[in-house]
Structure 1
Amino acid sequence: MRSSHVCDNPADCDLRTAAPHEAAVAGPARADRPMIRESWRRSLEAGVDPEMSAAPQAIDAARVADVRAAHPLDRHLPRLRDTLRRVADATTQLMVITDGDARVLWSEGPSDVRRRADAVGLIEGFRWSEEAIGTNGIGMALSTRAPAYVQATDHLVRVLQPWSCAGAPVVDPDTGEVIGCVDISATVDALHPAVVALVEAAARLAEAWLTVEMNHRDECLRARYHRHVRGDTRALVTTTGRILAAEPDGWRGGRVVVPEAGGRVALPDGRTAVAETLGQAYLLRAAGSDERCSLTLRLLGDEQPCALLDGRRIPLSLRHAELLAVLALHPSGLTCEQSSLHLYGDEGNPVTVRAEIHRLRGQLGNIVRAKPYRLDCEVEADFLTVRRLLAAGDVASAVRLYPGPLLPRSDSPAVQAERDELTAQLRRQLLYRGDADALWCYAQVADDDLEILTKLVAVLPPGDPRRVSAQLRRDRVLRDD
């Protein structure tokens, strides 16, 4: 009978007196490796079975290319591949790159090693976290945010004991989050100790490439939006919370927790600021004691529409979302009869509008004014931001903020007109001046848009995995038509 390897309370397990396999790792040969013992504890607490046969699949094979294309390391994979080739033994070692969730995005090695890797799931689309497959170089590196070296019987899962591996995490300089791991694995008792330093060097190179890209984006954002940072206390902040420019200047280089647009955030000096979206960045403006309420509308896409009132999220019914969209489009106000015409057309009834205004005031308070109907507050709306960005010719920022059409379930005449106009403007600018990244971003929202998919196939280079996906989707649309 097979011995059990998971005690009732793994945190209290004494590995020295556990099953034979556990005792082997906990003995004198591993006494100087507390990281391995801690990794075993984490794995056992997660319920990993040491008798499992392979890592679990986390991404369908058909989706690997799309997941890869959306990852920050995707455009650096060729250089990472070349770097790892220079440090790895191409005849015996497998080179692996994962994302931050330990899902393998790319692996390469000799055919005999690949066959053995396939048997344990060390291939594209499979997960190698400690929680999924126990102690291993990839999972340890991601858990500890440090290089990890795991050899032979260091592995908790028996089927991995013929393997040794060295992994190093890749940290995104923009967010500070671990976004991937570079790893070298081989079916040997032990890798050369220098391999750990080599994979760490490859990871640091990847971070350096990401830093260069980040610095370039920062300079573009400063050049575009620095004019907004003047006068009273303000700060230009990335969507990840890094302060790019500020008054006072001493805040630059710091970090804040950024809410959704229209919400409140603490400034470095402890005061409260209101976050205003500028497309690819936020402007934080210090809130005074007489600051007007701030209302932000989220009405684009298929998610439930909502409003943020001074940062407090308020779900909206479709009727209230339509009414707020119309009022946002007419800041100077509308009469009851005009509101009815915009919302319901000639068949509308002003009595219905008065009732909805009364209910809406119950949710939002006195910011909903009458005679005429209007919003007495600072109003921001995602569809208005997209419209402003398109008017400025910034199609890349506009498409990033566009999760889908304006209130797609609405048949209100005014909403339909705004929805059709906004979609038409966005598509027109994408087709005439959109780059590959912008077209790809829009194609994720409108996956049956034949013109966009055709344009995408035309602009993507043959080696880009997104091109294959776009071709398949285009062909599917053509078949359906």
Structure 2
Amino acid sequence: MRTGAPRTAYPTTGHTRESARTLHGIREAALSGDRPELAPRPVIGASWQRMLRIGLDPERDTSSVLLGAEELEHRRRSTALGELLPTLSRGLASVADASMQVMVVTDTEGRVLWREGNRAVLRRAEGICLQEGAAWSEGSTGTNAVGTVLATGQTVQVHSAEHFVRTLQDWTCAAAPVQDPRDGRMLGVIDVSGPDSTFHPAILPLVDSVARLAGAELRDRHLDAVERLRSVAAPILSRVGGRALVVDAHGWPAAVAGMPPSGRLPLPKSFGAGRVWLPALGMCAVEPLPGGWLIRPDGEGPGPHGPAGGAVSRVVLDLSGHRRWSVTVSGASGSWTQDLTPRHAELLYVLSMHPGGRTAAELADDLFGDPTRTVTVRAEMSRVRRGLAEVLAHRPYRFAEGVEVEVKGPAEPSELLPHSTAPAVRRSVPRP
């Protein structure tokens, strides 16, 4: 008896009349409830069964309501995939172009965030709604490489009539998940799709290799970030005394004092500054650091609100420079400084002028003169709050209660944020 992996019962590469007839026959029999002469591949058969259970119409089209421009931009800014896009493009975009294919990158909901490739095929792809903002989960478009990767977590090729929806049967696609090595979550999917007649069998292993390369790049970036956090943590731990550790936002340790080294510390979703119970350590005092957290088991964490409050007591927003701005945060265990992007400098300056807080619409009007640009504001505030943690509160956005805020401006008031076009900044600063 032959052992090992089962052989493929029908061709999944190449394009011949015989292979097309075979695949169509298998699909028609399976969808009608008959037993096909050859079984579909297990990954495809399982996907077809999922589609039948949810009642997806195999004769439907693949159109979907596209994401709006601001929502699309928000999703692009909110994922680490944007940092990896150059690597993905270098690995696949030129190959896709030369082989009459398109490269597609989606988020974990199957929404297309970016696409590149052959211009003619890009135009043709619009006919099946394979474009930015479109939905490509299985529940939206049936069995397809992107959706089936999201459902299984595995690299998948879907060939011709293996697609559940008939509209896609002239296409073949290969996709692989991009994993976040920091916490094991799937970040999204990278896919190469094109007309069935132009698809090459080498595309599938190439897509898988590029997805793994992207994950490796993210791992290297993470190691660099942990090293930067370690440089901040060392002087703080020397002042704290007793048991303490510093971890990044994903729980990976950067430094430890008075405790044995350990692996990743699981952090609850609602993790924040103050008194926090952690299963691995018990009750802890938690303070924010740029890119991570200072955790002291059995500590009290004085802070501005007493033992149960946050550890930050003072914020100095330094806007005195012409091209470089920073924020310095001081607390019970010392202080640290973080550089600011021009947009984040504007945001913090505006919030410093409004102690009572600003809504997303008010900030949108302050920054862009357009109160409808709330998605962009929320994305930027999400980014700035990652580094400043409990320094900033929300609903409305504001500096946390009890935190003293000082703004250091340039000697000449007209030189404050000189390149800013934000209406709120322009109104508050006399220009020559």
What TM-score, normalized to structure 2? Answer: 0.65
2:93–2:117 contact (8 Å) kept in structure 1: no
More RCO (CA 8 Å, sep 6+): 2
* Equivalent residue for 1:178, pick from 186, 191, 202: 186
The AA in structure 2 aligned to 1:194 is A
2:285–2:297 contact (8 Å) kept in structure 1: yes
The AA in structure 2 aligned to 1:147 is T
Q: Report 1:27-38 matches (<5 A).
A: 27-31=36-40, 33-38=41-46
The structure whose residues are more often strand, as a share, is 2
The AA in structure 2 aligned to 1:133 is T
* Equivalent residue for 2:273, pick from 258, 261, 268: 261
Deviation at 1:383, TM superposition (A): 7.5
The whole-number CA distance in structure 1 between the counterparts of 2:39 and 2:195 is 20
Q: Deviations over 1:189-224 (max 9, x none)?
A: 684332211001111111122122211111110001
The AA in structure 1 aligned to 2:338 is D
Deviation at 1:236, TM superposition (A): 0.7
* Equivalent residue for 2:135, pick from 118, 127, 133: 127
Deviation at 1:35, TM superposition (A): 1.5
In the alignment, which residue of structure 1 is the partner of 2:212? 204
In the alignment, which residue of structure 1 is the partner of 2:386? none
Unaligned ranges ≥5, structure 2: 1-24, 318-326, 331-335, 360-397, 428-432
Matched, 1:81 2:89: yes
2:283–2:297 contact (8 Å) kept in structure 1: yes
* Equivalent residue for 1:60, pick from 62, 68, 85: 68
In the alignment, which residue of structure 2 is the partner of 1:97? 105
Larger mean CA deviation between 53-62 and 165-174 belongs to 53-62
The AA in structure 2 aligned to 1:237 is V
The AA in structure 2 aligned to 1:377 is P
Deviation at 1:233, TM superposition (A): 2.5
In the alignment, which residue of structure 1 is the partner of 2:22? none
The whole-number CA distance in structure 2 between the counterparts of 1:257 and 1:41 is 37
* Equivalent residue for 2:250, pick from 240, 247, 255: 240
In the alignment, which residue of structure 2 is the partner of 1:113? 121
In the alignment, which residue of structure 2 is the partner of 1:407? 356
1:100–1:181 contact (8 Å) kept in structure 2: yes
The whole-number CA distance in structure 1 between the counterparts of 2:260 and 2:34 is 52
Which structure is larger by alpha-carbon Rg, 1 or 2?
A: 1
1:390–1:425 contact (8 Å) kept in structure 2: no
The whole-number CA distance in structure 2 between the counterparts of 1:420 and 1:262 is 14
Deviation at 1:185, TM superposition (A): 0.7
In the alignment, which residue of structure 1 is the partner of 2:395? none
1:390–1:426 contact (8 Å) kept in structure 2: no
Q: Report 1:199-348 matches (<5 A).
A: 199-229=207-237, 231-247=241-257, 250-258=260-268, 259-266=271-278, 268=280, 270-287=281-298, 292=300, 328=304
Q: Deviations over 1:344-364 (max 9, x none)?
A: xxxxxxxxxxxxxxxxxxxxx
The structure whose residues are more often helix, as a share, is 1
The whole-number CA distance in structure 1 between the counterparts of 2:251 and 2:410 is 30
The AA in structure 2 aligned to 1:245 is A
In the alignment, which residue of structure 1 is the partner of 2:310? 380
The AA in structure 2 aligned to 1:123 is Q
Deviation at 1:244, TM superposition (A): 2.1
In the alignment, which residue of structure 2 is the partner of 1:39? 47
Q: Report 1:325-474 matches (<5 A).
A: 328=304, 376-380=306-310, 384=314, 389=328, 392-396=336-340, 406-408=355-357, 422=405, 424-425=407-408, 448-449=423-424
In the alignment, which residue of structure 1 is the partner of 2:177? 169
The AA in structure 1 aligned to 2:356 is L
Matched, 1:22 2:31: yes
Deviation at 1:177, TM superposition (A): 1.6
1:150 to 1:221, Cα distance in 2 relative to 1, 3 A = same
1:433 to 1:151, Cα distance in 2 relative to 1, 3 A = farther
Aligned residues: 338
The AA in structure 1 aligned to 2:247 is V
SS at 1:176 equivalent: coil
The whole-number CA distance in structure 1 between the counterparts of 2:35 and 2:275 is 51
The whole-number CA distance in structure 1 between the counterparts of 2:28 and 2:219 is 47
The whole-number CA distance in structure 2 between the counterparts of 1:432 and 1:140 is 54
The whole-number CA distance in structure 1 between the counterparts of 2:195 and 2:60 is 18
1:87–1:198 contact (8 Å) kept in structure 2: no
2:315–2:406 contact (8 Å) kept in structure 1: no
The whole-number CA distance in structure 2 between the counterparts of 1:223 and 1:382 is 20
Q: CA RMSD in A?
A: 4.3
SS at 1:380 equivalent: coil
The whole-number CA distance in structure 2 between the counterparts of 1:198 and 1:25 is 36
The whole-number CA distance in structure 2 between the counterparts of 1:186 and 1:17 is 22
In the alignment, which residue of structure 2 is the partner of 1:368? none
Q: Deviations over 1:420-462 (max 9, x none)?
A: 984845999xx9999x9xx9xxx9xxx754569xxxxxxxxxx
The whole-number CA distance in structure 2 between the counterparts of 1:24 and 1:76 is 43
2:141–2:165 contact (8 Å) kept in structure 1: yes
The whole-number CA distance in structure 2 between the counterparts of 1:228 and 1:28 is 69
The AA in structure 2 aligned to 1:379 is G
SS at 1:141 equivalent: helix
Deviation at 1:187, TM superposition (A): 1.5
In the alignment, which residue of structure 1 is the partner of 2:392? none
SS at 1:135 equivalent: coil
Matched, 1:139 2:147: yes
The whole-number CA distance in structure 1 between the counterparts of 2:276 and 2:218 is 30
